[in-house]
Structures are given as structure tokens and as C-alpha cells.
Amino acid sequence: MWVSSSRQCAIATLSISLLLNANDAAALGLIEAYDAALKNDPAFQAAIFERQAGAEFREIGTSYLLPNVSANYSISQNQADIKTETAQGERSEERSYQSKSGGIQLRQPLFNLDAMARYRQGIAQTSASEAQFSSNSQDMMVRLVSLYVSAKYTEDQLAMAIAQRDAFAEQRKANDRLFKRGEGTVTDMIETQAKFDLAEAQVIEARDAVTNARDALASLIGREVTQLDPLQENFRAAPMQPASFEEWKTIALEKNPELVAQKYAVEAANQEIKKNQAGHAPRLDAVLGLNQSSSDTVSTYKQESTVNSIGLQLTIPLYAGGAIRAQSRQAAANYGRAQANLDGKTNDVLLELRKQYNASLNASARIDALIKSADSARLLIDATTKSVKAGLRTNLDSLNAQRQLFEVKRDLALARYNYLVSYLRLRKAAGILAMSDLQTVSGLFEASR
């Protein structure tokens, strides 16, 4: 005799329900976890500060094109020994006096290739920083979902392990009753006990996995995790949009934030070349000044003066010991390295894009196949149960059929979670992962409150 399939389902349902609803008030939804991660993830907080620092490159670059205003003031006590040749001979005079001078100067670049290159470089560096922050934001979203579904999968594993153990426990009781009536065998009892013991070990292992997965998620979101929302039972993979890989590739080459950041890095390296080459170029500035002095020199003793000036200043570099040429060559080499890094990053992005595209496509077919396999496994249990009653199958056949169902359910859960992660990673590789995608994934989970 074997426990009926309807009773097994009831046992499994009860076990899972008790596990998942034990702490309803503490259930953590995906969006709630995301909000917590925004505030508590150390890697994302570092990315925020990195973005703030990068935003200043634009201001720094702009400053080289704007007026530069400086002021100076000095006061000193002087002791002078003045000798004067006269017709009567040399005359000596000692003077002790205080001199003061102060001024303010405004310098506005009119023609400065170095300043223009620094300005454009600052814009490129800030734009690269913004693109990198976008990449970091998307990466945090993927990391969160990966840890969330990993923790949820371990919960499912534990629930199924408990249900399987309880089913074996029920079968053990049934075997005991049959044996007492003289209808069962010692072999049946041993087989069931062995399956029960293995299931008990799997429950212990599953509990450890739940603890570790929850701790990993907690380290990201900065709060304790006791329960997560379950995935919908009728979940199926959505059709691929866009359908072709070439369309995904076109999107990725244009919008992937890592590629965008690297392109701006190439532009910044190009401006570094121009900045160094500008060391040979003349510089023209407009200069406005106001200077006041009192007894500034011995010849202006007891004199005060105020001088206003306006004019142009032309600076022509002649020779700098070869430093400018060396720096230009160095900048050119760094520009070549930046271009090579861009090519390498492009290859990495397209490889990841292809990988996640294939994973998403295959996951859809795998989920459908496993759903059919689970239905078949349930039918097998019913058929095996009837065969055992008729004496055509043995107790071991029934145990194996039950184990097969739980393995299929485990693989189905894993395939569904892998699909969700692949879906988000595909959109991240394409550079279009957004909050709306996280909300879409969150909608596939059932709030357990």
C-alpha cells in the first residue's frame, strides 16, 4: 500500500504553507529589498560618492576658461643706507621706513589651447562618471535580484525537503501498519526508513543553505531577512522582446553604460594629447590690474601711488627641455591603450549579451518542459500507487516515483529563478535595465502579507 497522491499533495502543501507563512509580518518583497539596498549597500554608496567626485571634472575643466582673479598685499619694515655722490664728496644717509603695496589682478584667457583641451576633457570625464554610475546602479539591481532569488530558492528547497520527508514518514507509518497485519515486508520498511533518513539529512542541509542565503542578502540590504515573497505558481517565461540577437546587439553598442563610459575615456585620452601638444602653442590673456603702494622702493620714499592697468599678455613657449614632446608621446600611448580597452570591453559586453540571450531563450523552453515533466511525475505516482496495490510494482518503485517528482519540482524552481536573473542580466548587458524591469519581476512574486 502507498500513500495516495492527493494525500501527498496535501502534506506537501501544508508543510510549505507552514514554512512560508510562519512570519508573515516580516515578509520582504523585492521592491522593499531594493529600497533598503539603495540605502545600505556599501558598493552602491561608494558608487554614489564616485559619481559626486566625477561630477566635479566638468567644473574643473570649465574653470580654465573663466577669469582668474588674484590679490596680493605686502608690508615690510626697511632699513636703507643711501650714499650719494655730490660736488662736496660722498654723502651718506640712513633711512628707516615702512613700505606697503597691494593689488588685484584679473586674467581672462583669450586664446589658450591648453585650457580648451582641459575643458573638453573635464566634460568627457564627467560624462564617463555618469555612465559608470548608471552601470553600477544596474549592477546593484542584478546583484539584489540574484541574492533574492537565491535565498528564495533555498526556501523552496527547504519546503520541498520537508514535504518529501513528511511523505516518507507517512509511508513509513503505512508500512508499519501493513507489517503488523502480515501484509508488508521487512524490505519495504527498510527501504522507506532509508529514504526517510536521507530526506532528514537533506532537510538539515537545506536549513543551513537558507541561513547562508538569507545572510548574504542581509549583508546587501542592511536588515535581517526572515521570509521572502513566493514566486507565482503559474509563472512562465515571457516571449523574447526584441526577438533577434542583432537587435539586442545594436541596442547594446549604443546604450551599454560600460561602453559609453569607455568611449568617454577614449575622448578624455584624446584631449590629454591636445593638452600636452598645447605646450608648444602661444597663449594670449587679457589682464586688468589695480595696484596701490606706499614707499614701495627707496626711490618712492614717502610717495603713494595708485595704478590702474589694462592690456594683453602674449606668452610664447620656446623650450621646456623636451618635456612637452615626451608628455605628448606618453598621452598618445595612453590614447591607444584606451582604444584597446574599448575594443576589449565591447567584446566582453557582446559575449555577455549573447550568453544571457541564449540563457533566456533556453530557459523559456526548459521551464515549459519541466512543467510537463512535473505533470508526468504526478501521473507516474498515481499509476505506481495503483500498481503497488495490484502487486505489479514494489514499494521501492513508489519511493523512486515520489523522489522523481520532488527532483523535477526542484529543477523547475531553479529554471524559473535562473530565467529571472538572465532576463535582468540581458537587459543590463544591453544597457536598458531600469526600475520598470525590477517592478515587472517583482510582480511575478506573490505578496505573502
The predicted-structure confidence for 106-140, as pLDDT tens digits, reads as follows 999 999 999 999 999 999 999 999 999 999 999 99
- Judge whether 371 and 411 are in contact, CB under 8 Å: no
Mean pLDDT value across residues 300-317:
89
* Closest to 426 (Cα-Cα) out of 178, 184, 242: 242
CB neighbour list of residue 359: distance below 8 Å, 6 or more residues apart? 418, 419, 422, 425, 426
User: Could you give the CA distance from residue 437 to residue 9 in angstroms, rounded to a whole number?
Assistant: 34
Q: What is the dihedral of CA 401, 406, 13, 174, to 10 degrees?
A: 40
236: which strand partners? none
Beta-sheet strand order (sheet of 304-315): 68-86, 89-111, 283-294, 304-315
* Closest to 113 (Cα-Cα) out of 303, 284, 227: 284
Q: What is the dihedral of CA 173, 177, 182, 186, to 10 degrees?
A: 10
Tell whether pTM > 0.75. Answer: yes
Domain ranges of the chain: 5-65+112-281+317-442
CATH topology of domain 5-65+112-281+317-442: Outer membrane efflux proteins (OEP) (1.20.1600)
User: Could you give the CA distance from residue 449 to residue 446 in angstroms, rounded to a whole number?
Assistant: 9
Mean pLDDT value across residues 380-396:
69
Mean pLDDT value across residues 232-249:
86
SS3 435: helix
User: Could you give the CA distance from residue 431 to residue 427 in angstroms, rounded to a whole number?
Assistant: 6
Mean pLDDT value across residues 136-156:
94
